[in-house]
Amino acid sequence: MRKVWAVVFCLLSVFWQSCSHQEPTPEELAGKAAKEYYDHLLAGDYEAFLQGKADSDSLPSGYRQELLHAYEQFMQEQEKSHGGIVGVALTNARNDSLQQIMQAFLLLTFKDSVKEEIVIPMVLRDGQWKMR
């Protein structure tokens, strides 16, 4: 009888683990992508941040350089105003079916303890979530 219960327990354990593993939702994937792009921005990897924008590969080189410079200036301004951004956290992500986008809500934490929530519109391009 003990062997039967042991087998039943093992089968239930395997069944429970297989049921509890779910694929991430599109909202989770879009939110995670938005956070990763902003992590690149915080790290000073402006090129990786720009690659997170939809259709960034078709930008003219002059405009691309202007955007990279603008990102650098933005981070310098945040450094002057708040001591810099020290963290990014995903707080929520939801589907906006009217605009056919995902909205990722990120919480920026500044060195001076100010917190600001921003909304990043995300679109699916070639199987990857990109900032619009």
Is residue 59 within 8 Å of residue 83, measured between CB atoms? Answer: no
The secondary element (H helix, E strand) that includes residue 78 is: helix 61-82
The residue-averaged pLDDT of 36-54 equals 98
pLDDT above 80: residue 33: yes
Is residue 71 within 8 Å of residue 50, measured between CB atoms? Answer: yes
Q: What is the spatial distance between Cα 24 and Cα 89, in angstroms, rounded to a whole number?
A: 18
Q: What is the spatial distance between Cα 130 and Cα 7, in angstroms, rounded to a whole number?
A: 47
> What confidence tens digit (pLDDT) does each residue in 114-125 have?
999 999 999 999
Q: What is the spatial distance between Cα 75 and Cα 95, in angstroms, rounded to a whole number?
A: 29
Q: What is the spatial distance between Cα 110 and Cα 87, in angstroms, rounded to a whole number?
A: 7
Weakest-pLDDT range from 8-22, 39-53, 55-69:
8-22
Q: Report the predicted TM-score, pTM, of the whole model to 2 decimal places.
A: 0.81
pLDDT band at 25 (very low <50, low <70, confident <90, very high): very high
